[in-house]
């Protein structure tokens, strides 16, 4: 999922330096991918892991709420709430 996201971002004219950061840093890649999906209305829902930094979690949550995008945490039983046909944008973060 992440690689296809990076490809689509490149198509949108993302700057070269940011592309390099995304390719070399999984944390930044996941977070940037999440923000771009939410901002462009491409996320049907977002799953946020507990390891996401608090300020990043707050911003992503606020953006999801403003766009009326459902938010789940990695501790939720997401299968209970999300139909299988919906592509879940999972935020995979590493400390």
**Which element (helix H / strand E) includes 61?**
helix 54-66
pLDDT tier at 6, thresholds 50, 70, 90: very low
Q: Within a 10 A sphere around the Cβ of 38, how many other Cβ atoms? A: 21
Q: Which residues in the chain belong to E strands, given as ranges?
A: 46-48, 71-73, 89-91
Number of separate domains in the chain: 1
Mean pLDDT, the chain, rounded, equals: 64
Find how far residue 24's CA is from the centre of its chain.
Answer: 17
Backbone phi, psi, residue 91, to 5°: -90, 105
pLDDT digits (tens, 9 = 90+) for 46-55: 777 666 777 7
pLDDT digits (tens, 9 = 90+) for 34-48: 777 788 777 777 777
- What is the extent of the structural domain holding 81? 2-91
Reference 9, options 44, 45, 34; nearest CA is 34
- Percentage of residues of the chain with pLDDT beyond 90: 0
The pTM score is: 0.51
> Cα(27)–Cα(73) distance, rounded to whole angstroms?
17
CATH number at residue 12: 3.30.1330
């Amino acid at each position: 999922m992440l690689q296809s996201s990076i490809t689509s971002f490149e198509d949108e004219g993302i700057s070269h330096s940011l592309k390099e950061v995304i390719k070399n840093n999984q944390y930044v890649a996941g977070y940037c991918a999440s923000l771009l999906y939410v901002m462009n209305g491409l996320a049907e829902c977002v799953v946020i892991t507990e390891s996401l930094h608090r300020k990043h979690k707050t911003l992503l949550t606020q953006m999801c709420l403003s766009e009326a995008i459902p938010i789940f945490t990695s501790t939720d039983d997401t299968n209970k709430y999300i139909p299988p046909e919906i592509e879940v944008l999972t935020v995979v973060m590493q400390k």
